[in-house]
Structure 1
Amino acid sequence: MSMHAYITGAYDTAVGELPGSSCMALHAEAAIGAIQDAGLSLNDIDGVLCAYSFTEPHLMLASVFCEYLGIHPGTCFAIQAGGASACIMIMQAAALVASGQCKHVLVVTGDNRLTGMSRDGAVAALAEVGHPQFERPFGISVPAAYALVAQRYMHEYGVTPEQLAAIAVEHRRHAGRHPKAHVRKPLTVEDVLASKPIAEPLRMLDCCLISDGGAALVVSSAEARHDCANKPVEILGAGQGHTHEHIVMAPSLVDFGCKASSAAAFARAGVSPRDIDVAQIYDSFTITLAVELESIGFFQCGEAGLAAAAGQLGLGGSLPCNTHGGLLSYGHSGAAGGMFHAVEAVHQLRGHAQDRQVPDARLAFVHGDGGILSAHCSLVLGA
């Protein structure tokens, strides 16, 4: 089964601390890189999808970007779904080309979250999280909300801090093989457990990075992919799942929308979790990845941390996961954080991942999570 849509271009900028960078400049670099990777020109792009920016917020960011780049596509809009934005944009781009409305859709993200925001500015932006009546007055924060999930999850399944720490350690091991990764210094379980407490039981090294960077893809129709220069990656299936926005309204603290989104993506692709060769799954915190790996069906409840400790998420494991280092070690730059996962999947399926290459990778799973495990989008990609 196919959605009749193909990723034909992929590019990610440098990631980390990039003094002098800006949201629009990172968007432009990523966009031009992806278009060149596809062997196309700016004039070939007839659709543009953007996400959001913290450093240059605008209600019509996609229009601002097109103005900045000097292009005039027939379709242009922005999607805001937090960390799920990148996957949702790819799903939307696939629908646009499959329906014949576009031939080549540029999907672009980027932000200078690290150098472009002061500490106070970052805190102010994050202060917008939470229900204004039932959560914000009590001092909710993003880490605190995920800590609630971690507390319940650990109580329910007997998961330990050491098991969550193993996830961070494996991600750092992956990042050590990626020349662009924001942080590559080796990490141990003891390092994670000794790091600064943030929100019990989460510690500093259980949390994702804050980075500058951008990433983009070109999604092309089945016919138009033949115009492109590089090996296309097929979008085989996609799905979404939405259960809540505010954590106080979540129907469960151990069962989330990723179960529905992944089930839809697998069904549309005609595959199952056991068929996946490599996975790139949103990892804003160690607990995020643990919950999602299990809800999606890669591991039984309570077993993801044990699997990480046993090396099952490594290159030689049963499910190589976040082979670039993920948000925990590769980098997290707003919506671009989720796009880094998709770009890495393309590298893997093209066989271009160098030292971190999964041998004979034919099927990749990509997942994005927005809010407090609120919005979910899953993709199945094929070489």
Structure 2
Amino acid sequence: MSFITGVGLTSFGRHEGASTLDLMSRAAELAIADAGLQRDEIDGVLCGYSTVQPHIMLATVFAEHFGITPCYAHAVQVGGATGLAMTMLAHIIVQAGMAKHVLVVSGENRLTGQSRDAAIQALAQVGHPSYEMPLGPTIPAYYGLVASRYMHEYKITEEDLAEFAVLMRSHAADHPGAQFRDRISVADVMASKPVASPLKLLDCCPVSDGGAAFVISRERTGETGVRIRGCAQAHTHQYVTTIPDFDRMGAAISLQRASAQSGLSIADVRYAGIYDSFTITLAMLLEELGLAGRGEAAARVRSGYFSRDGAVPLNTHGGLLSYGHCGVGGAMAHLVEMQLQMTGRAGGRQVKDAGIALLHGDGGVLSSHVSMFLERVR
């Protein structure tokens, strides 16, 4: 058994003069205080990678910088799925008795600390070194290819994809830490700059500075506990040219495994935090996870199903598409928001029922998947 006992999140956007370690430290300090702990009570540290500070021992570099001496320290690298993969590992570590309180932390000054060309080159490394990278594609280009195929298969339109960007922006409008808070329309998305057909600028997450952290503990420390009921992974491919089955990318597999472990199903879910690097990412994952039928997720958005007062509120902080994306910490913000919702601390964003939640992370080009069920315990 494990609990998410504390969370910390910086605003996302531009943090001039703040390094990767600075942003990690800010988020970590918030999470530890939120858990009601002192720094010396943290006996495990897991951190994500940083493209701005690609140190081969980032976990111990951070521990020294932050002033702690954990008995367990480890850095993890699974692309956008890293945040949930670290959460799963922390869950295993505390269950095994190897640590009592594990700090999961990541942050990056990707917006102010890295040039545009350097960021593009770093992220393009997910492509095959012989068959994809020499052709010059970027991450948006890979997802543009996937979007074109998916739209053809399931008769989805560009306007359908735009609905997800509009929803995320409407949620971010009420979060003071979001990078983009101005509301947008489908027409705004359609009129935005082309990036990688059919994806346009507002179909893509921004580049951000920011940090996120949380504490995974063996026992709950607050009045309301958020318990990890079950979590699992699936890794079906790495490269976009080797996708084995367009109808089963890996999300359904990790969900099935997490469901078996937790005893919960998609029908039990009352809140969802789903990875949304692009509008197509969110559409495909919602449908593969069973939160909508194939080709039907956009219609559910239009109906209000995923709105704050809908049947399954989704990414109520604005997700990667509007809160922002600072690398590993971007997806970790989904878990921070979920914990706040489950403990009734989301303020004006609070949903009516977040008793059972589903989190799902995606790394690479829908390559690595982590699904996690959580429940509120009073």
Q: Could you tell me the TM-score, scaled by structure 1's length?
A: 0.96
Aligned position for 1:158 = 155
Q: Which amino acid aligns with 1:296?
A: L
The answer on 1:70 being equivalent to 2:67 is yes
Contact 2:309 2:352 in 1 (8 A): no
Aligned position for 2:110 = 113
Aligned position for 1:202 = 199
Contact 1:348 1:361 in 2 (8 A): yes
Aligned position for 1:377 = 370
Q: Give 1:227-306 correspondences, 5 Å limit.
A: 228-229=221-222, 231-306=224-299
Among 310, 333, 336, which residue is 1:317 paired with? Answer: 310
Question: Which moves more between the two structures, 305-314 or 85-94?
Answer: 305-314
> Shift of residue 354 of structure 1?
1.3
Indicate the RMSD between aligned Cα atoms, in angstroms: 1.1
CA deviations over 1:69-114 (Å, ceiling 9, x no partner): 1211110010000110000000000000011111110000100111
Among 93, 98, 108, which residue is 2:95 paired with? Answer: 98
Q: Could you tell me the TM-score, scaled by structure 2's length?
A: 0.97
Aligned position for 2:349 = 356
Once the two structures are aligned, what percentage of the paired residues are identical? Answer: 51
Contact 2:120 2:138 in 1 (8 A): no
Contact 1:37 1:229 in 2 (8 A): no
Instruction: Give me the whole-angstrom Cα distance separating, in 1, the residues matched to 2:143 and 2:2.
Output: 35
> Shift of residue 316 of structure 1?
2.2
The answer on 1:39 being equivalent to 2:36 is yes
CA deviations over 1:324-358 (Å, ceiling 9, x no partner): 00000011000001100010110110011111111
Q: Which amino acid aligns with 1:246?
A: Y
Q: Which amino acid aligns with 1:331?
A: G
Equivalent position SS for 1:82:
coil
Q: Which amino acid aligns with 2:343?
A: R
> Shift of residue 129 of structure 1?
3.0
Among 130, 135, 143, which residue is 1:133 paired with? Answer: 130
CA deviations over 1:253-308 (Å, ceiling 9, x no partner): 34211111111112222111121111010000000011101111111111111211
> Shift of residue 230 of structure 1?
5.7
Question: Which moves more between the two structures, 155-164 or 120-129?
Answer: 120-129
Contact 2:232 2:255 in 1 (8 A): yes
Contact 1:369 1:376 in 2 (8 A): yes
Among 172, 178, 181, which residue is 1:181 paired with? Answer: 178
Structure 2 gap ranges (5+): none
Contact 1:163 1:309 in 2 (8 A): no
Structure 1 gap ranges (5+): none
CA deviations over 1:349-382 (Å, ceiling 9, x no partner): 0011111111032011111111111111011111
Contact 1:8 1:231 in 2 (8 A): no
> Shift of residue 229 of structure 1?
4.2
Q: Which amino acid aligns with 1:279?
A: A
Instruction: Give me the whole-angstrom Cα distance separating, in 2, the residues matched to 1:231 and 1:23.
Output: 32
Instruction: Give me the whole-angstrom Cα distance separating, in 2, the residues matched to 1:172 and 1:283.
Output: 12
Contact 1:167 1:309 in 2 (8 A): no
> Shift of residue 52 of structure 1?
0.4
CA deviations over 1:116-164 (Å, ceiling 9, x no partner): 1112222222332310111112222111111111111111110111111
Contact 1:8 1:230 in 2 (8 A): no
Equivalent position SS for 1:309:
helix
Equivalent position SS for 1:127:
helix
Contact 2:271 2:353 in 1 (8 A): no
Question: Which moves more between the two structures, 245-254 or 195-204?
Answer: 245-254
Instruction: Give me the whole-angstrom Cα distance separating, in 2, the residues matched to 1:130 and 1:370.
Output: 12
Aligned position for 2:189 = 192
Instruction: Give me the whole-angstrom Cα distance separating, in 2, the residues matched to 1:153 and 1:120.
Output: 29
Question: Which moves more between the two structures, 129-138 or 184-193?
Answer: 129-138
Instruction: Give me the whole-angstrom Cα distance separating, in 2, the residues matched to 1:374 and 1:360.
Output: 31
Instruction: Give me the whole-angstrom Cα distance separating, in 2, the residues matched to 1:43 and 1:161.
Output: 51
Compared with structure 1, are the counterparts of its residues 216 and 230 closer, same or farther at alpha carbon in structure 2 (3 Å cutoff)?
farther
Instruction: Give me the whole-angstrom Cα distance separating, in 1, the residues matched to 2:116 and 2:270.
Output: 39
> Shift of residue 184 of structure 1?
0.3
> Shift of residue 309 of structure 1?
2.1
